[in-house]
Structure 1
Amino acid sequence: MLQNMTHAVNSCRLVSLDVEAMFPSIPTQTAISLIRTQLRDNRDALSDVTCLKPDAVADLLNISIQNCHAVIQDGDKERWFRQTTGLAMGKSYSPVVADLYMGHWEADLELLAANCGGRVHAFCRYADDYLVLFEGSDDILSTWVNQLNSKDSSINVTTDLEVNRQLPYLDICITRRDDKFCTKVYRKSCNTNQVPAFSSYTETRYLRAAIRSDCTRAIRYCSSMRDRQQELDFIRQKFHHHGYPRSFIDSAIQKTRTDLRLKARALPAPPSANSHPAPVRVSVPFAGPLFYQLKREASKIGIQLVSKPSVTIGSLLCSKAKHHLPKLQQSNVIYRIECSCQRGPVDNGIIPRS
């Protein structure tokens, strides 16, 4: 989008809008009403995935939203809480519902700017973060933001303006230079640049993946060769500071460059000299050098071993704190039900008539 907006580089400014507490602020009843309407307008597409009617899907969604509970273990007692407003951040449908509602909320975003005397050349949104190319004075921008906040009492946005023709958006730093936008990797001031030490007790492929993820971001985000080279040099220094050999770092960077180049040209990866059928993957605890020996022997019989940590922080801290639902309250389970006619137990959840 930025590359196609060269005509607006000098006439507009970059503005970032952030929706405060988006998930808890979504008006659920309005969102369900919008979803119900869209489901009715797309009956044919809905029928391809379910036999339920649009109203039934919307009603089920409403039941799930209105009955979102959390349990906290307080000593020997359990404290139950029910969420009364907004969407739960842990639900799988929450991002979809929030996205549909925010699409409705932003429909007249450009019209409101025009009514205030400004102009929105383009805008995009990722989750709750907007990037806007805005043309207008500070007073016009302030009036426009106030109108956005008055649209819905539950939705409130804050603004960040560019400084010295630069604006960070997510993990990208956008700069206006001459007649084009330039981008590079952005790091917050609180970033500590911590990575797994090369001597850490983990499989080598995870260490290599840490380098490749940083390298991929540098190649994709940096629009100039100078910024890209500076970022790659920074990656080399960062990982070398944590004990990574230079040859190991350079090998991972070169492999990343090759893979991205082939992907950009839509070319398949070069075939391996030794073609074998897809191996069977087995996950086992990581055991240091012994794991690599076992991995080599297993590969000879077509088994690929994948390491996993034997003990994780989550298993140590959350195993006892997390509330577990009793089995009789779980779904997708066939229960053994005692018949009220006193004829004895009946299996498979089928109760005969008494």
Structure 2
Amino acid sequence: HDNDRVLICLYSEIFLNDLLAPIYLNVAREVTFINGIDVIRKLEKHVLDGHFQATTNFIVIDVTDLYRMIPREGALHALMRLLKKHSDHGKIGTLSIDAIMRMARLVLDTNCFAYDNKYYKQTRGGAMGFTFTQALANIYMHEWEQDLIQHQVVHNGIYGRYIDDIFMTTNQNRDAIKIQFEKVAKKNINIKINFEIDTSVNFFDVTINNEDGCLKTYLYHKTTAEPYILPYTSDHPRHVHRNIPYAALLRAARICSDVYDFNRERIRIDISLLLNNYPPNFIRKQFDRFFQVNNAMPVLDESNSQVYHRLHQQLLH
């Protein structure tokens, strides 16, 4: 019977995630960052809208132990409110809200972990690695972040979150921002945050700089992370190997805001490919293909900054 209960729980958590994730994303898309390119699009629009200044700082917030710290009842209440708001005659699809809530409680009731050869029931937060835990955490956080979102709207700042990582911009002084964070902390003692305020920060795979009122972005490489590239000698169709240099250059052109940072990244890609046994002629041919397809050979031949700016914008959007 215990095995049956665990199986039911596993299927329920997959089903719940598939049901809830699209609803959540539809509600929170404007304040959700999917990747670094998402952040750059928002930042460049911020510049065009005239909100980016020499005094603009970036804020990176880390939510501490999110999955472990969300209160069970608080998260379930947040889920209930979301379902009521987006239901049709008390149903989501063919399921009643009551049925969904019972399923959610079943999943949370079955959360357990092993320590020192003993099993323990988890009474706070959700199980790491469960997709439903992420969906529930996102729903709970979306209610928590509303005050910060409204604060950013009033002060023409960017706000976006990816699970437990938040990125914001501000033209306010540090003291004013710290006061706002203290208010948020007092309102909900379950969510603990650490934050960094600076003119240069790393978020996702992007380094973001404010250089005297000019936005500059380029790829951020963690010193501990070794870049993995599929070796040329691997037993894959040749088109897979052809796509690797192209995809790497595409990512670099989207993220690097100026041609010099892009060229530095291009050299890095070149070296990584050589170290993984890609023949020099093969690399050169694939690099040429990227610039020819995107009508940007002057970037490769003479580091033309105007052509690169067009390339960056074209690929970013």
Q: TM-score, normalised by structure 2?
A: 0.68
AA paired with 1:217?
A: R
Corresponding residue of 2:160 = 124
Give the 3 Å change call, closer, same or farther, for CA 241–26 of structure 1 in structure 2.
Answer: same
- Structure with max Cα Rg: 1
Q: Aligned pair 1:5/2:39, yes or no? A: no
Q: Give the C-alpha shift of residue 245 in structure 1.
A: 0.9
Structure 2 CA distance for aligned equivalents of residues 91 and 45 of structure 1? 29
Structure 2 CA distance for aligned equivalents of residues 201 and 218 of structure 1? 27
The SS at the match of 1:93 is helix
Q: Aligned pair 1:44/2:88, yes or no? A: yes
Structure 2 CA distance for aligned equivalents of residues 64 and 254 of structure 1? 53
1:17 aligned to which of 53, 56, 61:
61
Corresponding residue of 2:3 = none
Give the 3 Å change call, closer, same or farther, for CA 86–192 of structure 1 in structure 2.
Answer: same
Q: Which moved more, 1:96-105 or 1:243-252?
A: 243-252
Give the 3 Å change call, closer, same or farther, for CA 160–230 of structure 1 in structure 2.
Answer: same
Give the 3 Å change call, closer, same or farther, for CA 151–250 of structure 1 in structure 2.
Answer: farther
2:127 aligned to which of 88, 95, 107:
88
AA paired with 1:26?
A: I
Structure 2 CA distance for aligned equivalents of residues 94 and 258 of structure 1? 45
Structure 1 CA distance for aligned equivalents of residues 235 and 113 of structure 2? 36
Q: Give the C-alpha shift of residue 192 in structure 1.
A: 3.0
Q: Where in structure 2 are the equivalents of 1:210-225 lying within 5 Å?
A: 210-225=244-259
Is contact 1:88–1:94 with CA below 8 Å preserved after alignment? yes
2:99 aligned to which of 26, 35, 56:
56
AA paired with 1:31?
A: A
AA paired with 2:44?
A: Q
AA paired with 2:138?
A: D
1:193 aligned to which of 198, 223, 227:
227
* Higher-helix-fraction structure: 2
Corresponding residue of 1:135 = 171
Q: Aligned pair 1:151/2:151, yes or no? A: no
Q: Give the C-alpha shift of residue 82 in structure 1.
A: 2.7
Q: Give the C-alpha shift of residue 56 in structure 1.
A: 1.9
Q: Give the C-alpha shift of residue 248 in structure 1.
A: 2.3
Give the 3 Å change call, closer, same or farther, for CA 113–219 of structure 1 in structure 2.
Answer: closer
Structure 2 CA distance for aligned equivalents of residues 44 and 251 of structure 1? 56
Q: Give the C-alpha shift of residue 102 in structure 1.
A: 1.0
Structure 1: gaps spanning 5 or more residues: 267-354
Structure 2 CA distance for aligned equivalents of residues 160 and 213 of structure 1? 32
Corresponding residue of 1:67 = 110
Is contact 1:19–1:158 with CA below 8 Å preserved after alignment? yes
Give the 3 Å change call, closer, same or farther, for CA 85–48 of structure 1 in structure 2.
Answer: closer
Give the 3 Å change call, closer, same or farther, for CA 14–234 of structure 1 in structure 2.
Answer: same
Give the 3 Å change call, closer, same or farther, for CA 251–69 of structure 1 in structure 2.
Answer: farther
Q: Aligned pair 1:237/2:281, yes or no? A: no
Q: Give the C-alpha shift of residue 218 in structure 1.
A: 0.7
Structure 1 CA distance for aligned equivalents of residues 179 and 114 of structure 2? 43
Q: Deviations over 1:131-186 (max 9, x none)?
A: 11123333333333333333322211111232xx3211111111223444222111
AA paired with 1:121?
A: G
Q: Give the C-alpha shift of residue 242 in structure 1.
A: 2.7
Structure 2 CA distance for aligned equivalents of residues 66 and 83 of structure 1? 8
The SS at the match of 1:3 is helix
Q: Give the C-alpha shift of residue 121 in structure 1.
A: 1.8
Is contact 1:167–1:173 with CA below 8 Å preserved after alignment? yes
Q: Give the C-alpha shift of residue 237 in structure 1.
A: 1.6
Structure 1 CA distance for aligned equivalents of residues 183 and 134 of structure 2? 25
1:35 aligned to which of 54, 75, 79:
79
Is contact 1:16–1:130 with CA below 8 Å preserved after alignment? yes
AA paired with 1:239?
A: L
Structure 1 CA distance for aligned equivalents of residues 248 and 314 of structure 2? 21
The SS at the match of 1:80 is strand
Give the 3 Å change call, closer, same or farther, for CA 88–211 of structure 1 in structure 2.
Answer: farther
Structure 2: gaps spanning 5 or more residues: 1-41, 296-312
Percent of aligned pairs with the same amino acid: 20
The SS at the match of 1:121 is coil
The SS at the match of 2:209 is strand
Q: Deviations over 1:331-351 (max 9, x none)?
A: xxxxxxxxxxxxxxxxxxxxx
Q: Deviations over 1:91-148 (max 9, x none)?
A: 122222111111100111156689xxx9562211112111111233333333333333
Q: Where in structure 2 are the equivalents of 1:105-124 lying within 5 Å?
A: 105-109=144-148, 119=155, 121-124=157-160
Q: Deviations over 1:222-241 (max 9, x none)?
A: 12233223212220122112
Give the 3 Å change call, closer, same or farther, for CA 217–145 of structure 1 in structure 2.
Answer: same
AA paired with 2:282?
A: F
The SS at the match of 2:103 is helix
Q: Which moved more, 1:243-252 or 1:99-108?
A: 243-252
Structure 1 CA distance for aligned equivalents of residues 104 and 124 of structure 2? 14
Q: TM-score, normalised by structure 1?
A: 0.62
Structure 2 CA distance for aligned equivalents of residues 243 and 4 of structure 1? 40
Corresponding residue of 1:160 = 196
